Amino acid sequence: MSASYPSEWPVPVSVAPDKLAQIQADFAREWQRIAAGAQQGTLAKPADRRFAAKSWESNPASLLAAHAYLLSSKAMNQMVDAAQVSEPVRNRLRFSVMQWIEAASPSNFLATNPEVQRMLLETNGQSLRTGIQNLLQDLQKGRLTQTDESRFELGKNVGVTEGSVVFQNAVMQLIQYAPLSAQVHQKPLLIVPPCINKFYILDLQPENSFVRYAVEQGFTVFLISWRNPLASDGDGIDAATWGDYLQHGVLQAVDAARDICGQEQINALGFCVGGTLLASALALARAQGRDPVGALTLLTTLLDFEDTGVLDVFVDELHAQLRERQLGKGGLMAARELGTTFSFLRPSELVWNYVINNYLKGESPLAFDLLFWNADGTNLPGPFFTWYFRNTYLENNLRVPGRVKVDGHALDLGALAMPAYIYGSQEDHIVPWPAAYASTGILRGPLRFVLGASGHIAGVVNPPAKKRRSYWAHDAEYSHADIPGDPQAWLAAATERSGSWWPDWSDWLASHSGGLVRARAKLGSARYAPLEPAPGSYVKVRAV
């Protein structure tokens, strides 16, 4: 990722005359077709879910407006594609134009949405009254409601896998889960979730809990529950650094799991930012002369930040300097700001869809556990966030051996030579799957890469019992030297397999987890006595 392009922005944007003339000609021709269809009454309903209701088709003026909007949107995107600018500037233009296009849809306004108007008449205005109440409630909360949050409670119907907190410090709690099998593998598994979200995305409800599935397969599972710092905390957590999260978060959890299970090495899994933290922590351990993890799993994780997808539009030196002035010495990166940013990566699905349904139609959102989790964000310590932003997204320093130092130790991700299972999601807009694949060029041990269908979350949370989606894999592991350097070459030779990738991962992990031993009835140990039942208290702290 280059950090040089902000100097090009803002820049004059021009389009070559021949390309501009072609876009104008295509627009005029298509407009004539649409206008003729409207006059003759033959204009078909557009293939866009926002205009799928019969009300659009039965209202000629609204139908024409929908077609005009879509045609204008197409022309604007063509202008962006034809603009004579650098690719980084084009990506920013594309993102900005997308925001304007999505906001300007006629479906978003009472005056131009015939479906909303019909509901207003049929309910004698009650739909609008309810919608205004929904809007006022959301204004009080300071965020848009995406699900019926009253239907979920942590520890009651989400995050319910049985276990205990066996250790805690200023940055995390460590949960050990109770066995669900008579025998377990010798080596336990530590799961490191992202600290930018709460861990229970991996433990939603029993039928879609990755944690429960892993426990059922005979693994002794430990999991880090990151603290959600608040402005009212007075213990200095708002000044925690990247190094603090590595030393007192990941590595302390690794040591506790090793001690409790009496193992020299454990296995570890990192998800998203958790994977970046985990790999960095293991590189730090290697720099300290330790090798505490035998097998590594990375789910939708970036180690090489060359390709960061749509998030690249937020990354530049000016933004980094602004955040460093604001938060570099302390303070919090607010969960609300992070959540808004991620929602506007897909504004049609995560913003305007709810504006229409909640406010214009006066509907109540359905109960959906994933969206309940999505609304339960976490704050981040300012120094942690600013370090992460500069050293990963902006400067891509982690992939360069020795460029990053923590407590005087130079990190080298290439020193990690344990077997690694690397997973990417095909439609991931946060960690593009080729970027997840790029970790195969950094890690030095035996490698297994698996590509799952769907996106960043739905691709990962895909339990086998539902028999949904598919994944692509090769039959055998590769060595670092033999795995294809081109992700598309890997995909061309891969086999698509139906269903979830979870059993594939479980079989792989079992082969690196030692023999089976009797499961212990008691959690923790004399040194690490259980403190409270899972999911613990840290995860229940709500960002304000």
Query: CB 542: neighbour CB atoms within 10 A?
Result: 14
Q: Whole-angstrom Cα distance, residue 38 to residue 40?
A: 5
> What distance in Å separates the CA atoms of residue 145 and residue 350, rounded to the nearest whole number?
10
Distance CA 322, CA 40 (A): 57
Do 215 and 221 contact (CB within 8 A), yes or no?
yes
Exposure of 422 in the CB half-sphere (CA atoms within 13 A): 31
Q: What is the 3-state secondary structure (H, E, C) of 339-404?
A: HHHHHCCCHHHHHHHHHHHHHHCCCCCCCCHHHHHHCCCCCEEHHHHHHHHHHHHHCCCCCCCCCC
Buried b (16+ CB within 10 A) or exposed e, 85-100: beebbbbbbbbeebee
Residue located via tokens 């397969």: 217
| Torsion angle in degrees (nearest 10) through CA of 83, 89, 93, 99 | 160
Q: Which H, E and C letters describe 455-507, residue by residue?
A: CCCCCCCCCHHHCCCEEEECCCCECCCCCCCCHHHHHHHCEEEECCCHHHHHH
Which amino acid type is present at position 531?
L
Token pair for 204: 């939603």
Take residue 275 and report the two structure tokens written for it.
Answer: 């994977």
Give residue for tokens 């949405």: 113
Q: Which two tokens stand for residue 360?
A: 């214009």
How far is 98 from 77, CA to CA, in rounded Å?
Answer: 8
* Chain mean position to CA 205: 19
Catalytic residue among 144, 272, 296, 447: 272
Is 272 catalytic? The answer is yes
514-532 burial, b for 16+ CB within 10 Å, e for fewer?
Answer: eeeeebeeebbbeebebbe
Enumerate the active-site residues: 272
